[in-house]
Amino acid sequence: MTDPQVAITMLGMFVLSIFLGFPISFTLMGMGLMFGYYAYYDADRAWRAYDAAVAHHADSYTLLHTWLQGFLNNRIFDLFVNQTYSVMSNDVLTAVPLFLFMGYIVERANIVERLFDTLYISARRVPGAMAVAALITCALFATATGIIGAVVTLMGLLAFPAMLKARYDTSFASGVICAGGCLGILIPPSIMLIVYAATSNVSIVRLYAGAMVPGFLLAGLYIIYVVGRAWQNPKLAPKPPAEMTEGIGAGEIVIRLLTSFFPLAILILSVLGAILFGLATPTEAASIGALGGLVLAIAYGALTWDRLRESVYLTVRTSAMVCWLFVGSWTFSSVFAYLGGEKLIEEFVIGLDLHPLTFLITAQIIIFLLGWPLEWSEIIIIFVPIFLPLLPHFHVDPLFFGILIALNLQTSFLTPPMAMAAYYLKGIAPPYVQLTQIFRGVMPYLVMVLLAMIIVYNFPATIYYLPDLIYGAGR
């Protein structure tokens, strides 16, 4: 078997392991070490040292030691150690735990609950006011945490029961929570974009600037759909009873906004502004965000020892998952490339003589399908690097490609039968809510995502306008 064939076998075994349920990060490391040992093993050097020891009439202990030393003297172990150190010292990835901590602290400070109530009262005259408030809250909270499970779960506990109590259609309400909860993949400061930047060597500040318009474009399409459907069929989203909003004047609404919407919005805008305008590095801005989250939690009287400890624990757990995925992925991909697997795939794809648009569509379909069994972190860290070397051949900008992926991954979490957002919601929904009802509710949002991808592809200025305006043309 040739080395490229071994590499393809390695990839096939990994995919099979995923479907069998093995832990992905440790499977990557294990296969990287196993196949890397084969790739870097120098049998002649090992046996020459052993034969030299025999020739000098070494004792049994020395012979065993020499043989073990020759067995373990393999460059894969040096590679693994170096990759681990490189990941842990990566400046870009340092921002991940800080942004995560900001999100977890904000989640536990009851700010989101206040924000949802305030936005609902503010938008009470708009058709589907509660759904609109839920989407805006999801978008803001998603920017603070970037963790789909956290957003869907929290909004499923806060907004979903409120909508059901207000006699909203179950499928309609389900779609709002699931679609809104996925916006954190795209809208900065997205953790996914940080990981993509570390993987692709694209500037994180340009990625953040490039994602702003597509992110709010998608959120806007969601809101337009919700308002349009509620206006067309009021039974889907009945107006709130008069007693729920009676006596609430403009002054009280302003006060509520000052104590819920504006603090969180100012925190997020401060973090993003510091990054986009070069006032701070992503890590420094993330530090500001984490400190700001703590200040908000203290101001709201919500910072307890248990909440702080839980936030730190969740931050460390999620950060460790991302870092070990990077270690495993880089070890795996280094061995895969050394064996010629990456070159084999590149030559195969180039040999198909695809049009750039056909390549883009094919790549996005593959990423869409990978989104069924995998989280976004595994897709970005493991599989996206397979496409990156092909981008120059097809004249595709990695920044443009990354934004398309971020849009595409919205569908991965919403598409049956493996729609993870739907399963998150089902896990905390009332027992009478059926999974089929949730699936039915998310389907229209897939159309919105596809429409957003078409708009972005046909109007690249939606991505490039802000990066080019702030930093100058960088393509």
Structure confidence by residue, pLDDT tens digits, 187-237 = 887 778 888 888 888 888 899 899 989 988 999 999 999 999 999 998 888
pLDDT tens digits, one per residue of 352-369 = 788 888 999 888 888 888
Range with the poorest average pLDDT among 68-72, 310-314, 407-411: 68-72
φ and ψ of 34, to 5 deg: -65, -50
Q: Is 259 exposed, middle or buried (0-12, 13-18, 19+ CB in 10 A)?
A: middle
Q: Which of 125-134, 181-190, 249-258 has the highest mean pLDDT?
A: 125-134
DSSP calls for 255-311: HHHHHTHHHHHHHHHHHHHHHHTTSS-HHHHHHHHHHHHHHHHHHTT---HHHHHHH
* Residue (of 286, 291, 293, 317) closest to 99 by Cα position: 286
Q: Residues with Cβ < 8 Å from 390, sequence gap 6 or more?
A: 346, 349, 350, 359
Whether the per-residue pLDDT at 59 is higher than 80: the answer is no
CA distance 183 to 186: 6
CA distance 15 to 7: 13
Residues 319-346, mean pLDDT to the nearest whole number: 80
pTM, entire model: 0.80
pLDDT tens digits, one per residue of 110-134 = 777 777 777 877 777 788 888 888 8
Question: Are 132 and 223 spatial neighbours (Cβ–Cβ below 8 Å)?
Answer: yes
- Position 317, amino acid: R
Q: Residues with Cβ < 8 Å from 248, sequence gap 6 or more?
A: 121
pLDDT tens digits, one per residue of 14-49 = 878 877 777 777 888 888 888 888 887 765 555 555
- Helix (H) / strand (E) element for 173: namely helix 170-181
Q: Give the pLDDT confidence score for residue 70 in this predicted structure.
A: 58
Whole-angstrom CA distances from 100 to 95, 136, 439 are: 9, 20, 29
Domain-wise residue ranges, the chain: 3-88, 95-471
pLDDT tens digits, one per residue of 83-111 = 788 777 777 677 778 888 887 787 777 77
Residues 144-154, mean pLDDT to the nearest whole number: 70
Other residues' Cβ atoms within 10 Å of the Cβ of residue 338: 18
